[in-house]
Amino acid sequence: MSDALSEDGSDINQDDSQEDVMTPAELIAKLEEAWLNEKFSPELLENKSEVVECVMEQLTHMEANLQRVKKGDAKAGFHRMEIDRIRFVLSSYLRSRLQKIEKFFPHVLEREKSRVDGQQSLLSPEEFAFAKEYYANTETYLKTVALKRMPPNLQTVDMLKAVPEPCLDSFVFLRVKERQENILIEPESDEQRDFVVDLEEGSQHLMRYRTIAPLVSSGAVQLI
């Protein structure tokens, strides 16, 4: 019975032949990391489609296994709970992203347009489709109801200027996963000068997002 439910991460017997295969526990850790970063960063981060896909597969697999557990087995409850928790984290992650896509849609699409080949896309293909539809839907609506009834020189609104950009100067809490040296901190007032700090592994900080944004995407720090 325990073999059938091995994907809860507690007893993993992956075959050693595929070395780059993530264990279920690693996969869930990746999801949680992406989830927290997305929840706390003011801007939309790069999509993690592979993680989402793998987690979806994992969930289907776990559901199927759970069907085979006989009723009344105490373990079923724990595994049900585990499935619910994973599905919550995954849904919450995708919700945070969708919310930001709606909030910043002109900027998100602009960034996608100016992306050079080989540069990782912010949006997954599904998110890109959603963003485009959201833009078209909203633009059409504003045009039909108001803009085209306005004087000729006032019939357009630049959505890039109208919809605010993410505020990168927000402060975020973070935990350092890989030690960093010489992080430049900009002054908060005229009396202050800029200075550099080292971030020790495992230490926690409250900092301006703009300063550490590259470290979030490289995975060197974790937003908390």
Stretch of 16-24, 31-39, 158-166, 199-207 lying at the interface with other proteins (CB under 8 A): 158-166
Looking at residues 63 to 82 of the shown chain, list those that interact with other proteins (rule: CB under 8 A). Answer: 72-74, 76-78, 80-81
Q: Which of 102, 144, 97 is nearest to 122 (CA)?
A: 97
Q: Taking the complex as a whole, how short is the minimal distance between the CB of residue 214 and other proteins, in angstroms?
A: 22
Helix, strand, coil distribution of the chain in percent, nearest 5: 55, 10, 35
Separation CA 181–CA 196 (nearest Å):
8
91 binding other proteins? (CB under 8 A): yes
Task: Assign 3-class secondary structure to 118-157.
Answer: CCCCCCCHHHHHHHHHHHHHHHHHHHHHCHHHCCHHHCCC
Contact between 86 and 56 under an 8 Å Cβ cutoff? The reply is: no
Residue 98 vs 220, nearer CB to other proteins: 98
Looking at residues 173 to 192 of the shown chain, list those that interact with other proteins (rule: CB under 8 A). Answer: 189
Retrieve residue 205's tokens: 């900080």
203 binding other proteins? (CB under 8 A): no
Residues that bind other proteins (CB under 8 A): 10, 52-53, 55-57, 59-60, 72-74, 76-78, 80-81, 84-85, 87-88, 90-92, 94-95, 98-99, 102-103, 125-127, 129-130, 133-134, 137-138, 141-142, 144-147, 149-151, 153-154, 157, 161-164, 167, 169, 189
